[in-house]
Amino acid sequence: MQPADLSATDIVAAIRQGDLTAVQCVEAFLDRIARLDGSLNAFLHVDRDGALATAAAIDARRKAGRPLGALAGLPVAVKDALCTADLPTTCASRMLAGFRPPYDADTVVRLRAADAVIVGKTNMDEFAMGGSNENSAFGPVRNPWDPARAPGGSSGGSAACVAADMAPVAIGSDTGGSIRQPAGLCGITGLKPTYGRVSRRGLVAFASSLDQIGPMARSAADCALVLETIAGHDPGDSTSLADVVPRYTELLEQPLTGLRIGRVRDHYADGLDPEVRRGVDEAFAVFEAAGATVHDVELPHAKYGVATYYLIAPCEASSNLARYDGAHYGHRAKPGEGHRAESGGRRFESPLVEMYCRSRGEGFGPEVKRRIMLGTYALSAGYYDAYYAKALKVRRLIRQDYLDAFQKVDLIGGPVSATPAFRLGEKTGDPLAMYLVDLYTVATNLAGVGGISFPCGFTKGGLPIGFQLQGPALAEPLLLRAADRFQRLTEWHVRRPERIA
């Protein structure tokens, strides 16, 4: 029995039944990480000793007949934006290089309580700002389907490690598509839950009104298994929802007969790759064959989604990242000569101001600086109403579009991204082109609803094509059920990259 060939659901069952030990399972995945990650760079930190010790303790408890958690022995990779007390949390930034938080994120607490085994922290775009995972201060992640191509971002490390079978499950975060887009480009399944369904406590903030944690795995069934553990109310997060968490895995069997899926005609505008369009059309046909009906719907303000997102998110980032000043934690520049020192032609008024400026200048990468400057400008006196306040009004219109559409259909389907995975370096010189990779995903976050991405085909060149479903608030049972039914009728999600042994 090779653990890398098993689903997360099968791994948990095999360990519980004694057909596989937790140590055997965890060691198998750690060995794959050691063998493969040198060429993919999906992990920033691997906890081999800690993971094996946790697995051994789980085996001892099972042997003694003691109760086990719902995810007992399941290896899980965690995006490096979630706090872990026993591992560094860097957000792939030199600003937080070597930082060890004093506590675990709520999601990590829940995973540990369920006896999941955290094998390491995954690479990402710095502070989750990016769509290609090329903004990491510790090098880009490479797509397992073609190492010359990007895995998507910002949860690119989480997507790549699952696609390469270095972990059966990973945790990502999604601010404007950062779970769904890399899942689509790497040929796996990624769920962005309703805002507040999973606690954000311990997630290093990028844009607090948009960020959401979610699972990434091979299948919708495995995402459902993990979501049952990490979802739920957290008194430590004021935005956490108090609604009861359903048994997602028990709701997957229901048929799709009568399900209404919306198709947005604007998704078929110029720029949509013909092969992606073909894959999306074929996915709609699969759903129709399964008993669903497809209806055209309109999201008239979705065309303003990217512009709205890239005002709101940088504004919130400007505020959230103000805490990284070199005074309390994170990178601190070496002492200079105070007011006599100059940097880039600028004379500092005091040693303190110099320390702030140099620390932030040295600690943050170019994309983070760009977004901080965008946000600070849009929030400044004289521009707040013209930019940020107006973006909030458009956000409300986008949300209303979704509310209106969900009066007519149950879910909305369409592409995750306009193209398959693009080459590393292809878009780094054009920030606007990079921002447009979020074209089909940002509105989900602006509206606060849920979305799931899964593979619906492959290009002639062997690259995955992703399909996205979006649903109303707290419609995760329906999203997972629809994606699971699609995966029972197709085999796209079971394909493995030929380049990865």
Please name the residues in contact with 369: beta carbons below 8 A apart, sequence gap of 6 or more.
Answer: 361
Active site (annotated) includes residue 343: no
Contacts of 281 (CB under 8 A, 6+ apart): none
Strands 342-343 and 346-347: antiparallel
Q: Cα separation of 463 and 172, whole Å?
A: 22
Q: Report CA 442 to chain centroid distance, whole Å.
A: 13
- In whole angstroms, give the CA distance from residue 120 to residue 175: 22
Q: Which of 178, 219, 240, 453 is catalytic?
A: 178
154 counts as catalytic: yes
Catalytic residue among 154, 158, 173, 359: 154
For 269, the token pair is 């505008």
- CA-nearest of 456, 470, 459, 479 to 285 is 456
Report the C-alpha gap between 416 and 490 in whole angstroms: 18
CA 262, distance to chain mean position in Å, is: 24
Q: Would you list the DSSP string of 128-154?
A: G--SSS---TT----BTTBTTB---SS
- Residue 413 in contact with residue 261, Cβ under 8 Å? yes
Strand blocks (E) in 228-292: 260-264
Choose, from 79, 121, 192, 427, the residue flagged as catalytic.
79
* CA gap 189, 454 in Å, rounded: 4
**Does the active-site annotation cover 79?**
yes
What is the rounded distance in angstroms from the CA atom of residue 141 to the CA atom of residue 242?
Answer: 36
Q: CB of 464 within 8 A of CB of 451?
A: no
| Catalytic residue IDs | 79, 154, 178
